[in-house]
Structure 1
């Protein structure tokens, strides 16, 4: 079992959307490094922090669990989809997705500012300058530190 952080823009797909749907495919990842993690490393049963980005209140908003391991992102084959890629085909898929299931919303949003102030997250890719990956690994200790912060909010 591993831990991950998946970024999403809540105007497009939020933790509340996932709660309503119960489970959903995590499609539309169009970065090769993030794709490789989804395809090769994210496994059934892994835990996921859902992180809202590109909005007024950025931060960890909820928790999900991977319920289906990587499979081809079929939206890449659909010319009507925003995620269409003419170089991807069912015989030679370029993009992959996983399915996740809603576990719970966090008790409060754990903001990026709070996470940047946590020494135990100093090595986390999310808090480093210039990191724009939509899928990133989280260590078990980082996961626990974030959940501890959820229970003990700071002044940040």
Structure 2
């Protein structure tokens, strides 16, 4: 029997489809059609398994419909919040099927152009696995990615395990290079594992949210701890007694509105 090609060789040649993903959710309250569309790591843990509903971007929809498979691993990411970053881990437990929220006229992300006979939007089910002990913030990842070498990162306290290979994996994350997409691949298991290990080990200075300026609740809800939210308008959360979703607006060569996902709180 011929030897199997190594995973790293297959990944570097681009022969294998991604099996690891990053999925964004919006943890802060936002009311749409009278329903709170937030979805935080607390909500994810409480629900256990949730349909990733409400995505209204065709690229993200295609990923869920065609590429995400049972057993694929997920980084759960807080978006459009003061301290965006990876807060937990999940696993795909049901493959792509039509998103019922698109057919529900009372749902915040109802799409009158989608119909059950020829659905436009698809989703997957994702099951909570664990929180990360130390949230891996976008600010941290960007600080790492901006470094020319590991030697220039001592102040981050990443530990002896973090070397040039790990640095290059972080630099190559789609989150760093094309951050706006709400459902996106992590380029390899190795890159996924580096993010997970960062979340396990910690050691870097705690990054506090920046204080917002302005009055009352509006200032609190719109405060930004990172430039991610200045670049992208993402939203995700929960819906009534249903599940969550996020809506994000992408500005590239052509403006595109994406629903990233959201979920619904009980009660």
TM-score (norm 1): 0.94
Does the alignment pair 1:99 with 2:125?
Answer: yes
Q: Which residue of 2 aligns with 1:133?
A: 181
Correspondence for 2:83 among 28, 52, 57: 57
Moved over 3 A (4+): none
Partner of 1:155: 204
- What is the CA-CA distance between 1:153 and the residue it aligns to? 2.2
**In 1, Cα distance between equivalents of 2:126 and 2:78:** 16
Cα root mean square deviation, aligned: 1.4
Are 2:78 and 1:30 aligned? no
* 1:143 alignment counterpart: 192
Q: Does 1:7 align with 2:6?
A: no
1:10-69 per-residue CA deviation (whole Å, 9 max, x = no partner) reads 120011101111111100111111111011101111111100011111100000111111
SS where residue 68 of structure 2 aligns? coil
SS at match of 1:91: coil
Partner secondary structure for residue 21 of structure 2: strand
Cα distance in 1 for residues equivalent to 2:200 and 2:117: 47
**Alpha-carbon distance between aligned partners in 1 of 2:134 and 2:48, rounded to the nearest angstrom:** 20
**Aligned counterparts of 1:55 and 1:97: Cα–Cα separation in 2:** 23
TM-score using structure 2 length? 0.56
The superposition leaves residues 73-108 of structure 1 with CA deviations (integer Å, 9 ceiling, x where unpaired) of: 011011111111111011110000111111001111
Match of 1:115 in 2: 141
Is the contact made by 1:38 and 1:97 (CA closer than 8 Å) also made in structure 2?
Answer: yes
Distance (whole Å) between structure 2 residues aligned to residue 97 and residue 85 of structure 1: 14
Inter-partner Cα distance in structure 2 for 1:17 and 1:96: 22
Residue pair 1:72, 1:97 contacting (<8 A) in 2 also: yes
Alignment length, in residue pairs?
Answer: 155
Q: Which residue of 1 aligns with 2:105?
A: 79
Deviation at 1:154, TM superposition (A): 4.4
Offset of 1:115 from its aligned partner?
A: 1.5
